[in-house]
Amino acid sequence: MAIERTLSMIKPDGVERNLVGVILSHYEAGGLRIKALRRQQLSLAQGRAFYAVHKKRPFYEELVNYIVRSPVVVSVLEGDNAVTKHRHMMGATNPEEAAADTIRKKYAQSLQENTVHGSDSLENAAWEVSFFFALSEYDYFN
Ligand code: CMP
């Protein structure tokens, strides 16, 4: 299997409810390594840009307002098959459809306030990682 990197964002509802440690523990227990980590308040412009792919969707404005409501915790996760592995750990976007033992099944509050975001493809992972982190923050050239 290929070593991949993906972006995780613990969203405002997760950070507000003090779930950062428990969610990061899921990643480590599941075999992903946290290569970079930051708590960050997104600006409105950053929220809009990060979710620009959804700008035609009816929920876009509400989604942007939610994501800038309070700080998020972003991280770069690395491991075998990291993109898919992370998505399995998160569970379905809608917590009502998420499998047992997934992060969203355990902690998410609603379709919008679903606690975590993860890149959905290797291509998007590269873009999302670069949105938040410089190469020197997660690739140590060793
Ligand atoms: P995420 O994985 O971050 O990708 C886009 C986000 O939009 C998604 O998680 C949810 O937070 C939100 N979202 C997706 N579909 C809907 C919807 N139908 N109504 C409201 N929010 C949604």
Checking if the pLDDT of 1 tops 90, the result is: no
Which residue reads 């998160």 in tokens?
A: 90
Query: pLDDT at position 28, please?
Result: 98
Query: pLDDT at position 115, please?
Result: 98
Atom 11 of ligand 1, nearest CA residue: 112
Contacts 24+ apart (CB under 8 A), 121-124: 121/83, 122/4, 122/83
How high does pLDDT run on average in the chain?
A: 97
Assess whether the C-beta atom of 116 lies below 6 angstroms from ligand 1. Answer: no
Across residues 35-41, what is the average pLDDT? 98
Q: By the 8 A CB rule, do 8 and 131 touch?
A: no
What is the per-residue pLDDT across 99-124, written as a single tens digit (0 to 9) for each?
999 999 999 999 999 999 999 999 99
Distance 140 CA to ligand 1 centre (A): 33
Q: Which atom of ligand 1 is nearest to the CA of 51?
A: 5
Assess whether the C-beta atom of 93 lies below 6 angstroms from ligand 1. Answer: yes
